[in-house]
Amino acid sequence: MKAVTTTTLRKEDGVALIIALMATMLLTGLGMTLMLLSNTETQISANYRNSQEGLYAADAAVERIVQDLLLIPRWNDILTNSSGPAECAGTMSSFVDGTCSSNLTPTIPDTGETVNLGKATRNLQAVTDTANLWLTNNPKWRLFAYGPISSLLTGTTIDSQMYVAVWIADDPADNDGNPQIDTNGTVTLHAEAFGPKGTHKIIEVTVARTSSTEIERGQIAQRGQDELNQRARKAAVQTPGKGVTNMTLDTSSGSLVVH
């Protein structure tokens, strides 16, 4: 048996190779972590962009549809549908992707994903009926307009993959017990935007006729955005028609006095 000497134990042959391998493994792990972090940040940024784009697309669809409402003298013709599919309005908007009776499963541009508007209509009605907030005045939703946001305006190119749909119903506040008849010149619009990777945004607004040919729009719900709380906090100074107040500081008591 060969004796192990102190000189043999002190040899460092191969230590440099081991250190190099360990350093390589450490740098490889660090590089993979940075790459994963970069990809995650890119996806978060893309999702946020799609979310905001979807919100603006739904809002733009409402603005476009309001223009069509100006051209329809009897809104009851929209709310009542005795001949076509139950999901569709009696009178459709000019912004329609095909015909409401034949194209209720359109494709989101450049994604290959489809949207089942017939199912979306039934789901919206089911949620409304389940909540049953207005009893006999519960809205009966009709699909009024739908299409890719890229074709929202004629003669203008819009670079967007969003697909939008707008439903219309009688305003339940008229309290007439018949959701297919408009008695107070006010209707509710429900707009949804669909986009890549499951992007889905919803906006609901009320639209009312005025004494002139114009239409007033009032937002009653806007889901899926961070600005909602900010708008609520600013409502006191942004709501039209509120009286302007003047505040002064009482130097004797140190309190604010509103005039």
The confidence score (pLDDT) of residue 166 equals 96
As a whole number of angstroms, the distance between CA 34 and CA 39 comes to 9
Q: What's 177's DSSP letter?
A: S
Give SS3 for 230: helix
- Tokens standing for residue 80: 């009542």
For residue 96, how far is the Cα from the chain centroid? 19
Report whether 116 contacts 104 (CB < 8 A).
Answer: yes
pTM, entire model: 0.70
Report whether 137 contacts 174 (CB < 8 A).
Answer: yes
The confidence score (pLDDT) of residue 235 equals 42
The confidence score (pLDDT) of residue 210 equals 76
As a whole number of angstroms, the distance between CA 55 and CA 202 comes to 7
Give SS3 for 167: strand
Side-chain half-sphere exposure of 176, counting CA atoms within 13 A: 13
Cβ neighbours for 219, distance < 8 A, ≥ 6 positions apart: 203, 204, 205, 206
As a whole number of angstroms, the distance between CA 71 and CA 23 comes to 73
Report whether 59 contacts 189 (CB < 8 A).
Answer: no
First and final CA of the chain: distance in angstroms?
A: 107
Cβ neighbours for 93, distance < 8 A, ≥ 6 positions apart: 65, 68, 144, 145, 166
From the first residue on, what is the mean pLDDT of each consecutive set of 10 residues in the chain (259 residues)?
56 73 84 79 80 91 91 89 80 89 83 89 93 90 93 83 94 86 90 90 88 59 44 40 45 49
Question: Nearest Cα to 169, choosing from 99, 74, 76?
Answer: 76
The confidence score (pLDDT) of residue 218 equals 61
The confidence score (pLDDT) of residue 242 equals 40
Cβ-based burial of 23 (10 A; exposed 0-12, middle 13-18, buried ≥19): exposed
Q: What is the DSSP string of 28-71?
A: HHHHHHHHHHHHHHHHHHHHHHHHHHHHHHHHHHHHHHHHHHHT
